[in-house]
């Protein structure tokens, strides 16, 4: 097979940042994806519908001429988000989901939820209006080993949350463990998960063996091979519960290559090509379209994109870097390395 045509994909988990950084990165996603769920962890975070509407306008203004890319907005849940804000979000038609960051779990999560019990009425309203709660599923207890934080989150937070709100739509974002893949596969249909390309392609050796590679440091952190295999199995299983979410998270080169580097992998420029590599490893390229283009819209109650894209089997190398904010570069995942599939322009 030398070419594959699929319904245009969407990215159900994307960080675009703001201002100059936004302008530097948004074109990479817009060249591939029809839509993307835009993460709200700006500084300060997007916590109101009014802020989300304004952020959406800034994204639209930063798009390349003629782009029909559609940003789908989210709100950042805090301990004090009132249920009325969820009603406003639902009425807006522009806000599609609310994001739960446990306080301190990841980049720009200082205003996140300290105890989910504080949010009970607001989460009940989400269930009521049928809006998904997107979850960064890691505990922030520093006593818990970083490699175990997702598995512990399932027991300590996810299961009690779903027991209290059985009808709540939940996307377990960027799952990285066998435990999460198995939990989602066995859960009712209102529970789904996104999976990144980097967690499908790499285990923690890529980051830590033979030298420390900061561009492979992201949260949740890369796990051991057994978990990567479980994610590949889930993504290619044909189950509609798993869909594409790159978690492409831009940070300037200097902020990654540092004595205390930021978490986040920049995968937007070659997103669909990276997923194609992972699916090909499993001999499952025929399952890519459902994962990348059909399962996500179905879960969110949206139509699939009307147009299509073609991937060609043609070896190419990712550039060493792209321009970022003034005087800074951004290094993509697999910079300088080659990929077997290329999106046809």
Ligand-binding annotation for 35, yes or no, is no
219 is in an annotated binding site: yes
Provide the annotated active-site residues. 247
Give me the 6-25 binding string for ligand NCD, x by CB under 6 A, dash otherwise.
---------x----------
Residues 145-204 that bind Zn ion (CB under 5 A): none
Task: Say whether 67 sits in a helix, a strand or coil.
Answer: coil
* Contacting residue, 10, 70, 150, 247, with ligand NCD by CB under 6 A: 247
Please report whether residue 247 would count as binding Zn ion according to CB under 5 A: yes
Judge whether 218 and 265 are in contact, CB under 8 Å: yes
Task: Please give the helix or strand (H or E) that residue 61 lies within, else none.
Answer: helix 49-62
Backbone angles phi, psi at 229, to 5 degrees: -65, -40
Quote the Cα angle for 231-235-236, to 5°: 115
Site string for Zn ion, 83-122 (x = CB under 5 A): -----------------------x----------------
> From CA 204, how far away is CA 183, in angstroms rounded?
22
With respect to Zn ion, which residue has the nearer C-beta, 198 or 241?
198
Stretch that binds Zn ion, among 19-27, 88-96, 240-248, 277-285 (CB under 5 A): 240-248
Residues 78-107 that bind ligand NCD (CB under 6 A): 106-107
**Helix ranges (DSSP H) in 286-331:** 288-289, 295-300
Q: Determine if 190 is a binding residue for ligand NCD (CB under 6 A).
A: no
Q: What is the edge-to-edge ordering of all strands in the sheet holding 70-76?
A: 11-14, 35-38, 70-76, 95-100, 133-135, 170-172, 191-195, 242-244
Q: Which of 7, 41, 49, 179 binds ligand NCD (CB under 6 A)?
A: 41
Residues found near ligand NCD in the complex (CB under 6 A): 15, 41, 106-108, 136, 218-219, 247, 249, 263-264
């Amino acid at each position: 097979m030398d070419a594959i045509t699929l319904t245009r994909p969407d990215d159900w988990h994307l960080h675009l940042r703001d201002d100059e950084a936004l302008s530097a990165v948004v074109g990479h996603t817009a060249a591939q994806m029809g839509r993307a769920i835009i993460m709200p962890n700006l500084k300060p975070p997007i916590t109101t519908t009014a802020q989300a509407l304004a952020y959406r306008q800034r994204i639209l203004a930063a798009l390349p001429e003629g782009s029909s890319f559609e940003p789908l907005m989210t709100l950042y849940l805090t301990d004090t988000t009132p249920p009325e804000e969820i009603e406003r979000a639902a009425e807006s038609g522009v806000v599609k989901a609310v994001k739960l960051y446990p306080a301190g779990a990841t980049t720009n999560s200082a205003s996140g939820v300290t105890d989910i019990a504080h949010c009970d009425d607001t989460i009940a309203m989400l269930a009521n209006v049928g809006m998904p709660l997107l979850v960064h599923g890691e505990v922030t207890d520093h006593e818990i080993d970083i490699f175990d934080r997702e598995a512990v989150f399932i027991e300590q937070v996810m299961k009690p949350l779903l027991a209290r709100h059985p009808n709540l739509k939940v996307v377990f974002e960027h799952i990285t463990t066998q435990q999460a893949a198995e939990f989602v596969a066995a859960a009712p249909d209102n529970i789904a998960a996104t999976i990144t390309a980097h967690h499908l392609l790499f285990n923690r050796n890529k980051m830590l063996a033979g030298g420390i590679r900061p561009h492979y440091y992201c949260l949740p952190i890369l796990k051991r091979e057994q978990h990567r295999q479980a994610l590949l199995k889930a993504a290619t299983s044909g189950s509609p519960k798993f869909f594409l979410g790159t978690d492409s998270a831009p940070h300037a080169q200097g902020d990654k290559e540092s004595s205390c580097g930021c978490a986040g992998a920049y995968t937007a420029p070659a997103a669909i090509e990276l997923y194609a590599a992972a699916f090909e490893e499993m001999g499952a390229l025929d399952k890519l379209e459902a994962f990348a283009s059909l399962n996500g819209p179905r879960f969110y109650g949206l139509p699939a994109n009307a147009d299509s894209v073609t991937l060609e089997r043609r070896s190419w190398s990712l550039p060493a870097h792209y321009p970022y904010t003034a005087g800074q570069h951004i290094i993509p995942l697999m910079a300088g390395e080659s990929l077997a599939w290329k999106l046809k322009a």
